Structure 1
């Protein structure tokens, strides 16, 4: 029977570690050994401290959290819950968030987390206390000051998120303009490179045409010079031949 109870408790507690959600404590408060202000104090949690929320008791008045190396219960009126990338005041959003509902089984919970504590041996007393206060632990009652602080923190987070969203849109617009400018500059550079290439080709073609024209213009003059040279040589030879015969 004892083994069965231990297995049931383990099954109840195991999923909560995997489903833990980030949270923030809005005001300095006590981490209790059970869901109620009458349970022994495990530790003090300072304002603004980060905690992991493993779930809340049915009614969402008290939540099972981890803080530092300790585990215990904190009233939900002192908690903010990470929801859609910003922290919200938990009592105002419990229905929308759908916080995991977890049970409180004193014997197994204390065996897992509080063995060695001064009050650990008083199981019978605290079991009786829990049986008489369980209904109170499921009732949501808000301290006006705590609610005011929690809701103000939620508003501040929403404003900051909106401001970040506007900045992100502005940055995206600037990035878009920069990208368009870069594309335009790249197109201009490509066009200029094409024009320069065309000019180079035209210049090279013009030089080839000029060189061919020069060659063609030089060739007739060279041919005429050779002809004149040959004619002069022929006349000289003709004059020289009669003189040679007279000498004979």
Structure 2
């Protein structure tokens, strides 16, 4: 039996680790740390730093190379294939490093429940017959890191929030009945498809990390700044993770 704990670790700041996360990390026999290629070395470095700071016992850490998702063809099909490949990597590491079972932990960026597929990948292992018990330690999500960085609320008073992706915003526009829209997984500034009139945006990249960047203002005035800033940051670091919240002004 493998006891798998998925631990939300926030968005890059080791101080975002909860006491529950620290306890879970130290209770594990093994923590698997994914490498995502040289241009995303910052991400594995953050995980290494967190482990170095909080591990006090015999927990082992093992790094492995994460498969790369293909960019061509059907998007959902590519994601499904990618998840299959990741599940195969997990199974291989478990067979090598926990052949007799034990307590395994994975450190999940942000929170495991919000636009993250780690739980779905774990389901694949169970579907393949692995004896697997899964538990989750919640973490600070990128949305909460964003609203904290800008010192704002996620929702307007008594109004709903729609959480969506850049792909959905680009394909379908502003969600119906939404006062506030939070956008994640946006590879190309999808807010450019939105009529900017009366819309305020709060944007953040590398939240919780040393090179965190923030821009806020009316979409009409700061939208071009965000596009330019995002391109410059991606060129400088080789990768970018960003998120933003938009809200329509009343009246």
Which structure has more helix as a fraction of its residues? Answer: 1
* Higher relative contact order (CA closer than 8 Å, sequence separation 6+): 2
TM-score in terms of structure 1 length? 0.22
Decide which structure has the larger Cα Rg and report it: 1
